[in-house]
Each structure stands twice: as C-alpha cells, then as structure tokens.
Amino acid sequence: MMNAPKNDGHLGAMFHQNLDLLAKFLDTSSVRGGVDFHLHSTFSDGAKTPYEIVENVIENGLKAFALTDHDTMAGIEEVVDVMRCLSLSTTGENNEEPFNCLPVFVPGIEFSVMQDDSEIHILGYFTEYDPPGLSAYIEDQAKSRERRNMAMLEKLRSLGYDVRLDNLLCYGDEHTLPGRVHMALWLVEHGFCRSVTHAFEELLGVGKPAFVPRTRRSIRETCREIARAGGLSVIAHPQQYGWTKNPESPSTREKLCERIAQLVEEGLNGIECFHGMATPQEQRLLADVALELGLIRTAGSDCHGRPDHHAPMYDRHTSFAHLI
C-alpha cells in the first residue's frame, strides 16, 4: 500500500476510514460548487496525465476533485505525489506564490456494470488511496476490457480498418488502459471519421458494426466490492441512460424514483446529479430524487481533457446551489 500522510488535510486521507465524513463532504461541496468529482486521465481514456490534471484543477481554482479513471486506480499515486510536493511547497521559506489553499483530493474509479440488460456506470469514492481488497476486482475488470478490445479490433480490421492494439497506445502512455475512445481517435486521425462522436455513431457504439459487448458484473456485485473496500457507490450520469427525458413530467420523476430505489436496494449510495452534459432541468430533477431517497448528490464534469463529446472541467465559479 502507498504510504500516504494520514494528517495532510489537502489529500483524501483526511477522510481516513471515515465514510460518513466523506459522504457528507461529497454532497455538501457538490451543491456549493467549485469541485469536480469525475475526471479521467491518460491511465484510461483521458488526454491529460494526472500531473496535468492537478495543474488544471489548481488553475481552475477548484476546492476539491477526484480522479475516476475507468477500471483502474493506477493514476492515484501520481496525483498523491504531486499533491504532496505542492503541500510541502507551501512551507518553503522563499515561495513567492505559495499554494495557500490546496484542493482536497478524493480517490475514485469508474466501473461499467449491467442493470436490466443495460450498461450503466458506477463511480466509487474511497477514504484510502489504495482501497483494501479491491485490486483483484479491478484486475478482472481490466482483463474483460482487454478481451473486448481485441474482439473489436478484429471486427474493425474485417471492416477494412487496419488498426492494431499498438496503434491505440499512441494516444496515451505506457500506463494507458486502451478502450473505444482510443479506437475512435485512430479513426479520426486517419480520416475515417469526422470526430470521436461520429466514430461512435458509425462504428463503435452499441449495436454498430464494430461493437462487441463486454462481460460485465452486476451492480449488486460492484456496489458490494466498493463497500468492502471502504467506499461509496454513486451512479454516473443517469441522464445518459435516457432516464430523465421530459424532466418536468410527473411520470418521468415517478419512473426515475423507481429505478433509483431499485439501485439503492442493490447497494447504491448516491447520484451524480450535476454532470457536465446534463441540463439544468435534469440536474434539478436528479437532485430532488436524491434528496427524496436520502442519497448523496455529487458533481462531476466527466472531463477527458480534449474537445470531444465530453464537457470541460468545472471551475471555481461552477455552482448548483440555485437548483436546490
């Protein structure tokens, strides 16, 4: 396990083994704003390294943030190292511009799971940098992703796109766990698609010619593994599953409550109410449902560090208090 300082208030260790404190912090700070609890780095399908993410977080004036790469927490160590160095720099004698208020870092991860024959995503947030007992589950998820990658690359080649696994690694670094976004980037670079979104719409999305489904765990199993590791389970971007269409409709609210209540029975702790691609009406609906069901409300841009089909990182001015 990583030897992280237990008393450094700028790091996630401030929540050391205190899940209630973490839950309250995620909810309260998300509503107030100036935080971003859904970010991706080069360790999965993001364009920026963890170091660069920390730089952007500080430039944006965020009070807190989380790294939530797909199926891996390997980037956490780099964030912790950077934050530790910045924390030490505040005590330097000759600092001209010391970091007087470093952001709080919350370690996280994003898993893909199955619910009623559909894929949804679960964010896990933890009180430890290296959650106990989670490594085997993460490794299994990574192997499932690798098997799907090989199958999709084979399909792409059969469709006339001569792409290999090595080609995907050009869009990250030696730590990157490739996925569909990297295939999309290759297709765009080689002129086969106009954008990442276009690549998903034409080839890589569900039901498209190169799509291959992954073997996914159930939400109950995933929430159980997160809980065993001392974490909280939050459903990511519910609006992307079509659950918030016509957000002002009473029937939409009723159905959404039913869906979320079912997930709570499976072990869910919260809802990503304030997602970067959700409308204000969708955000208000999700926050209302979370409050009604006694769930954590979180805010996350889902920034991937590139101008594709994801939102940019939040900043100090991002607030959702007016929606409550």
Per-residue confidence at 3, pLDDT binned at 50, 70, 90? very low
Residue 264's SS3 state is: helix
Q: Which residues pair with 233 in a beta bridge?
A: 124
Residue whose pair of structure tokens reads 């909280």 in the numeric block: 232
Higher pLDDT, 10 or 252: 252
Mean per-residue pLDDT for 104-126?
92
Residue with tokens 């008393």: 7
Instruction: Report the C-alpha gap between 247 and 282 in whole angstroms.
Output: 6
Length of the chain: 324
- Cα gap 114→214, rounded to integer Å: 10
Kindly tell me if the per-residue pLDDT of 88 is higher than 80. Answer: no
pLDDT digits (tens, 9 = 90+) for 195-219: 999 999 999 998 999 999 887 789 9
- Mean pLDDT in residue range 84-97: 63
Average pLDDT over residues 87-97: 56
Residue 182 amino acid letter = H
- Dump pLDDT digits (tens) for 172-183: 777 788 889 899
Rg (CA), the chain: 19
Give residue 90's pLDDT. Answer: 57
Q: What's 104's DSSP letter?
A: E
Q: What is the pLDDT of residue 99?
A: 44
- Please say whether the dihedral angle defined by the alpha carbons of residues 151, 306, 65 and 55, taken in this order, is positive or negative: positive
Question: Which DSSP symbol is given to 288?
Answer: H
Compute the distance between CA of residue 183 and CA of residue 181 in angstroms, rounded to an integer.
5
pLDDT at 87: 79
| pLDDT confidence of residue 263 | 97
Q: In the predicted model, is pLDDT for residue 7 greater than 50?
A: no
Task: Locate all alpha helices (DSSP H) within 174-249, ordered by sequence.
Answer: 180-189, 196-199, 219-228
Bridge partners of residue 125, in order along the sequence: 108, 232
Name every residue whose Cβ is closer than 8 Å to that of residue 187 and which is 6 or more positions away in sequence: 161, 163, 193, 199, 203
Check pLDDT > 70 for residue 108: yes
Per-residue pLDDT tens for 117-162? Answer: 788 999 999 999 989 889 999 998 888 888 999 999 999 999 999 9
Average of pLDDT values for 62-78? 95
Tabulate helix, strand, coil % of the chain (nearest 5): 45, 15, 40
Kindly tell me the burial class for residue 266, based on how many C-beta atoms sit within 10 Å of its own C-beta (0-12, 13-18, 19 or more). Answer: middle
Please give the sequence-ordered ranges of beta strands (E in DSSP) within the chain, or none if there are none.
35-36, 64-67, 104-115, 118-126, 217-218, 231-235, 270-275, 296-300
In this prediction, residue 93 carries a pLDDT of 46
Between CA 180 and CA 194 the distance in angstroms is: 16
Q: How many CB atoms lie within 10 A of CB 103?
A: 22
- The band of 6, judged by pLDDT with boundaries at 50, 70 and 90, is very low
Degrees, nearest 5: CA angle 65-66-70: 150
Q: What per-residue confidence (pLDDT) applies to 178?
A: 85
Is residue 16 over pLDDT 50?
yes
Greatest Cα pair distance in the chain: 62
Worst-scoring range by mean pLDDT, 47-51, 93-97, 207-211, 249-253? 93-97
Domains and CATH numbers, the chain: 18-134+217-323 (3.20.20.140), 139-204 (1.10.150)
Q: Say yes or no to pLDDT of 96 above 90.
A: no
Alpha carbon distances (Å) from 321 to 1, 33, 36, 122, 270? 38, 7, 15, 24, 17
pLDDT(72) > 90:
yes
DSSP 240: G
Confidence of residue 28 (pLDDT cuts 50, 70, 90): very high
Res 9: pLDDT: 42
Give helix then strand counts, H and E, for the chain: 10, 8
